[in-house]
Amino acid sequence: MGAVIIRPRSRGARSFFTDTFLLTRRNLLLTARTPELVVFAAIMPIMFVLLFRYVFGGSIHVPGYANYVDYLMPGVIVQTALFGGSSSAVGVADDLSKGVTDRLRSLPTNRSSILAARTLADLVRLTYTMALLLAIGLLVGFRFHNSLLPVLGGLGIALLFGYACSWLFTLVGLMVRNVESATLAGFLLTFPLVFAASTFTSTQYMPSALRTFANAQPVTQVANALRDLTHGTGAAGPAALHAVVWSAAILVASAALATWKFRKL
Amino acid sequence: MAVNRAMIQAEGVEKAFGSTVALGGVDLAVDAGQVLAVLGRNGAGKTTFVRILATLLAPDAGRIQIAGVDVVNDAKTVRSLIGLAGQFAAVDETLSGRENLVMVGRLYGLPRREARARASEVLERLGLSDAGDRLVRTYSGGMRRRLDLGASLVGHPLVLIMDEPSTGLDPRSRIELWSLIDDFVEAGTTLLLTTQYLEEADRLADRVAVIERGSLIAEGSPDELKQRIGGDVLEVRATRPADIERLVGLLSGLGTGQPVADKRSQSVTLPTSDRVQTLLAAARRIEESGIPVADLGVRRPSLDDVFLTLTGASADRSRPEAHLRPVPGEPVPAAEPEAQRARA
């Protein structure tokens, strides 16, 4: 038999959006139907809010903040952005080890959609968790002390940082390729970034080497930027600029490397 | 397009990972509507070949075409022509069977309505209609495999590629899967599957390609292949390990090839084309020699026999670790002192 029918599928740029939408929905459905994931993602940051607001908060005083909760909430939001991104490493590794990635790559799918959908789903989840966190924050006394626009700008920076982290951890997932290592790598990367930072308290009483690291690294920059913009201090000072530059740099570098790594799988 | 063009045409396909050569120049051709089984042990290069064929991995050298389309230069077209069922059931546990198939259909580029219709059709064909709306995590292993196979059928592939389809399935699910595969083949799908089981290749394939250490060592119909092995295999299991060498000497010249000793199972195998004659002759010689044996019989050739015959008896010593792994319950080390006692 020689009459082979090749059915060309006219799928141009449209396929990128369709495929990204389909795969984003798939990623979100997987989360939504695993209740323990949804609950865990929400409970972790809430525990941190309650712990630092009521257990440690009384003994922490940060200059410039009459209420510690106004200092705390931006920190927890940035921590959540980082942790949220680290779940990408696990998701990517899980799909790789279960053969799902192979299946998707063997389909006439737009391959860029696979990673785009992964990070986009993270962004949707992060937006949900952040909204939940803000609601809890308002309940325990957190208030915005600035006008709407800077506040939205601050939250936007936090989301941008979270999105950049998703790409970073997507890259990690592609490199380690199994769920256990991805979980460990996520923990090892996020822990120092979150705690050697201005997340829960000012860096000024830290030993000098630690302080230098803490002041330089992105979590401090993003948390400070969010504080500046929600509290009305510093009036969108250098922290906001540093935070945006850091996030954009992480985003561009990670996305480029992850895409390159994904092509070579 | 030439009339005699094969549906799958591979020429000189090479792939190395670092210094490890996974494929050392493989040539293969599968005609439209044919079933080719790529038979080989773990690590022989089967999966690497499949991954290159399915556009998941680029070859270092050589050329593969599917329906005349190059898998490297025109990967995207190739992807719309193939269906891949990998070694794992690559389906989402927290989606229903139907949702899994609709998503794959949409990713093939089918409009929503068509993808839904196709999903129902495939579920029906796989006997999963009733379970279609249940979440996959409630499925049995066999059902997952069937659904995974279904996902590879959604896009009406010209060529179906299956990597060890029955690995990890219980015997009943395996037979169900085989009869499903029969249906696809009857419908005219070209199929390339990899397997470790000669029985599976025998059952499903028109042609078998035996691959070992990245090279094709034999190709032909299952019958031709068995002919090369000599039909059947006579196997003698010694009671005492010390007798193995004597049994080899005793049996040489009886079958269609040289007897081969396997120290692990304390047995000697011999290819034969005339089972009755060889069995009688062997029994007579063993009885005359007085060597005690635990078992004597003729059986159908196994994959190990294929390799032993095709790679020569020397393969016995250099056989990969998979074969030398001690089988639990078989007292290999304990057999030594026992043999000493018996001699004393």
Rounded to a whole number, what is the distance in Å from the CA of B211 to chain A's nearest CA? 23
Per-residue pLDDT at A236? 54
Chain B residues inside the 8 Å CB shell of A99 = 86-90
Q: Is the pLDDT higher at B211 or at B301?
A: B211
Residue B315: band (very low, low, confident or very high) from pLDDT cuts 50, 70, 90: very low
- Chains A and B form CB pairs within 8 A to the count of 92
Q: What is the 8-class DSSP label of residue B168?
A: T
B4 contacts on A by Cβ (under 8 Å) = 2
Q: Which residues contact B329 (CB under 8 A, 6 or more apart)?
A: none
- pLDDT of A25 higher than 80: yes
| Residue B136 at interface with chain A, using a CB cutoff of 8 Å | no
The pLDDT value given to residue B92: 94
Place of tokens 């990713």: B107
Residue B293 bridge partners (DSSP): B238
pLDDT tens column, B51-107: 999 999 999 999 999 999 999 999 999 999 999 998 888 999 999 999 999 999 999
Please report the ipTM that was assigned to this predicted complex: 0.87
Nearest-CA distance from A30 to chain B in Å? 6
Q: Do A9 and B1 touch (CB under 8 A)?
A: no
Of A15, A30, A108, the CB nearest to B92: A30
> What tens digit of pLDDT does each residue of A160-181 get?
999 999 999 999 999 998 999 9
Interchain contact, A22 vs B107, CB within 8 Å: yes
Report the chain B residue with the minimal C-alpha distance to residue A110: B107
**What are all long-range contacts of B179-184, with beta carbons under 8 Å and residues at least 24 apart?**
B180/B126, B180/B146, B180/B149, B183/B125, B184/B153, B184/B160
Distance CA B75, CA A106 (A): 9
Contacts of A105 in chain B (CB under 8 A): 55-56
Nearest by CB: B79 against A5, A34, A107: A107
A2 vs B2: CB contact, 8 Å cut-off?
yes
Q: What does the pLDDT average to over B267-296?
A: 90
**Helix or strand holding residue B141 (H, E):** helix B141-153
Instruction: State the Cα torsion A35-A41-A43-A47 to the nearest 10°.
Output: 170
CA atoms within 13 A on the CB side of B305: 28
B158 in A contact zone (CB under 8 Å)? yes
Strand duo B159-163 + B20-30: pairing: unpaired
Interfacial B residues in 58-77 facing A (CB < 8 Å): 67-69, 76-77
- pLDDT digits over B2-61, tens only? 445 799 999 999 999 999 999 999 999 999 999 999 998 888 899 999 999 999 999 999
Report the sign of the C-alpha dihedral through residues B204, B208, B210, B211, in that order: negative
- CB A30 to CB B95 under 8 A? yes
The verdict on B18 touching A (C-beta cutoff 8 Å) is: no
Mutation target vs B (from A95, A102, A104, A110; most B CBs, 10 A cutoff):
A102
Using CA atoms, how far residue B137 sits from A118, A156, B92, B125, B147, in Å, is: 22, 37, 8, 21, 12
Helix, coil or strand: residue B14 = strand
Task: Kindly report, residue by residue over B122-167, the tens digit of the pLDDT.
Answer: 999 888 999 999 999 999 988 999 999 999 999 999 999 999 988 8
Considering only CB atoms, B79 lies closest to which of A29, A99, A108, namely A108
| B80 close to B155: Cβ distance less than 8 angstroms | yes
Q: Which two tokens stand for residue B282?
A: 């062997």
What burial letters (b/e) apply to B63-86, b meaning 16+ CB within 10 Å?
ebbbbebebeebbbbbbbbbbbbb
Share of chain A above pLDDT 70, in %: 93
Q: Please give the structure tokens belonging to residue B55.
A: 């556009």
Residue B207 pLDDT greater than 50, yes or no:
yes
Choice between B342 and B207, residue whose per-residue pLDDT is larger: B207
Predicted local distance difference test score (pLDDT) of residue A3:
43
Res B305: pLDDT: 72
Q: How far apart (Å, rounded) are the C-alpha atoms in residues B306 and B83?
A: 30
Spell out a b/e string for A158-174, using b for 16 or more CB atoms within 10 Å of the CB, else e: bbbbbbbbbbbbbbbbb
Starting at the edge strand that comes first in sequence, how are the strands of the sheet with B190-195 ordered? B82-85, B159-163, B190-195, B35-39, B207-212, B215-220
